[in-house]
Structures are given as structure tokens and as C-alpha cells.
Structure 1
Amino acid sequence: MTLENISNIEGLFEVINQCKGNVELVSEEGDCINLKSRLAQYLTIAGAFSNGYIRTLELRIADPEDKERIFDFILSGKAES
């Protein structure tokens, strides 16, 4: 799943933390980083944030329900509790 122009990165990570399965960031080189890890989240923010948003993220999502949860977040812009 490719996400573009993400301005609510905190909301995205809140949704990712609610996911049951693995959610991985896939780099252009094919490396995978587990985004359920707080350290990986901080490194993603530090490395990818410029101008207040992230231009593009390629995610690999293991659980279909998690994929739907993230898709719903992208559509609404809000994390569900």
C-alpha cells in the first residue's frame, strides 16, 4: 500500500499501533522496518519529515483488517479509538 502526502503522521502511527499484525515500511532498496516499534516511528519521523508532511510511504500490511483500518484513516484523516 502506498500512502502519499501524509500530514497527520501522529494519527497514522496511532492507527498503526492499533493494528494486530505487522506493518512495515518498505524502502526503495527493499529494506523493511517494523513501524509498530516506537524507535522505528521516531526514526521515520526524523528521516522523512520535511515541510511538515511525508510525501510517500510504501507499507506492507500483514492483516487485511489492519489494511482496512489504515485505509479508513487515510479517507477520514482521523484515528479511531
Structure 2
Amino acid sequence: MATPIELHNVDVPDFLAVLDSCKGNVYLVTREGDKLNLRSKLCQLVGLTQLIEGGKIAEAYIICENPDDESKLFRFNLLGKTEG
């Protein structure tokens, strides 16, 4: 199983742009244990609206099926960008 990535203070529009560039499934895991596939626009809407505080994602865990996506999202979470 992939390692969960904990997101902190992520800019939502930038995060959605990174999600759109992912090749595999990316899951948002809630505190209750629900898993929402963020490749689905409906799940993005449902999942992210529960976590947004002041225009930023307050707290979330994501799990990626594709290791390249995991690296991309880890860099985004750490640096706020995916390249360079």
C-alpha cells in the first residue's frame, strides 16, 4: 500500500491543476476512513469542500496508486510547485 501524504495549507486551484496532471488514481482519505477518488470531479467537489478553510486545504491525507504521482504531489506539498 502507498504511503499517505499529509497535505498542509495547500492552494486549492494549484492542487486541482496538479491532480489533473496525475496519471493514476489519487485518493483523499478522511478522518472517518472514507476514500474519495480525486480523479473524479464530483469527488473533488465533495471531498475538498469538507476540508477547505479560508481558501486553503486545512488538513488532508492522500494516497496515490502511481509512484510518479506520489512524487509529484509530495513535491507540490513540500515546495508549492511540481518542477524546478
How would you bin the TM-score normalised by the shorter chain?
A: 0.7 to 0.9
SS at match of 2:62: strand
1:26–1:60 Cα contact (<8 Å) kept? yes
The percentage of aligned residue pairs carrying the same residue is 35
Q: Are residue 49 (structure 1) and residue 52 (structure 2) matched?
A: yes
Q: Structure 1: where are the runs of 5+ without partners?
A: none
2:43 alignment partner AA: A
Q: Are residue 58 (structure 1) and residue 61 (structure 2) matched?
A: yes
**Residue in structure 2 matching 1:30, options 24, 29, 33:** 33
Q: Which residue of 2 aligns with 1:73?
A: 76
Q: Structure 2: where are the runs of 5+ without partners?
A: none
TM-score by length of 2: 0.80
Q: Are residue 4 (structure 1) and residue 8 (structure 2) matched?
A: yes
CA RMSD for the aligned pairs?
A: 1.6
Structure 1, residues 16-52: CA drift from partner, whole Å, max 9, x if none? 1111111000011211000011111122332222222
Q: Aligned-pair distance for 1:79? A: 5.4
1:12–1:79 Cα contact (<8 Å) kept? no
Q: Aligned-pair distance for 1:12? A: 0.8
Shift in CA distance, 48/10, structure 1 to aligned 2, threshold 3 Å: same
How many residue pairs were aligned? 79
SS at match of 2:81: coil
2:6–2:60 Cα contact (<8 Å) kept? yes
TM-score by length of 1: 0.82
